[in-house]
């Protein structure tokens, strides 16, 4: 395995996605010595935690916005397929079925982010990346950084780390 500027605390490192490793390496390059929650919001949503020692301590994987909406449509007999990735305003409470699906899906992910953040030290930085990062960021209380290039920054940090060895 290629030497990394971070440590991997995952018990099955061979099953850990390279995109997740790169995103965590990018977070370490941006915030060395800080605790970071990296949220990659795409087809799936990954929640990955980097501790202050530069160790990836683990994370979680959940369905992304589109996948949640698709599941509601496919696995029920009457719920419509809602474009949850549209630019429509997401009300706190839906006032019709489509609005309820939109709010439930989008605000559900925002709630997951808030929950995971609450389980980490108060000074933990939350970094959002992935296609739905911009959609989710306004719904999350507190300081959240959007970095669409986080994986690229991580790949660059891995390259730089190996060049200096």
For residue 156, the Cα-to-chain-centroid distance in whole angstroms is: 20
Which of 19, 53, 123, 147 is an active site residue? Answer: 19
Asked whether the beta carbons of 38 and 127 are under 8 A apart, the reply is: yes
- Rounded Cα distance between 108 and 127, Å, is 18
Asked whether the beta carbons of 113 and 39 are under 8 A apart, the reply is: yes
| Nearest to 24, CA basis, from 163, 165, 155 | 155
- Report phi then psi at 7, rounded to 5: -100, 145
- Rounded Cα distance between 135 and 23, Å, is 19
Q: Residue 12 corresponds to which tokens in the numbers above?
A: 């099955």
Active-site residue flag, 19: yes
Catalytic amino acids? 19
């Amino acid at each position: 395995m290629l030497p990394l500027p971070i440590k991997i605390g995952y018990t099955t490192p061979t099953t850990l996605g390279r995109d997740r490793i790169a995103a965590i390496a990018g977070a370490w390059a941006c915030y060395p010595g800080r605790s970071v929650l990296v949220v990659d919001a795409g087809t799936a949503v990954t929640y990955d935690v980097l501790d202050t020692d530069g160790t990836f301590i683990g994370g979680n994987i959940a369905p992304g916005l589109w996948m949640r909406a698709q599941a509601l449509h496919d696995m029920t007999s009457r719920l419509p397929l809602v474009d949850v990735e549209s630019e429509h305003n997401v009300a706190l409470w839906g006032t019709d079925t489509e609005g309820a699906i939109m709010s439930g899906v989008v605000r559900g992910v925002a709630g997951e982010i808030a929950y995971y953040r609450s389980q980490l030290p108060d000074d933990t930085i939350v970094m959002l990346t992935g296609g739905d990062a911009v959609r989710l960021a306004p719904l999350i209380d507190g300081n959240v950084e959007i970095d669409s290039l986080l994986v690229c920054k991580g790949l660059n940090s891995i390259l730089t780390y190996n060049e200096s060895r």
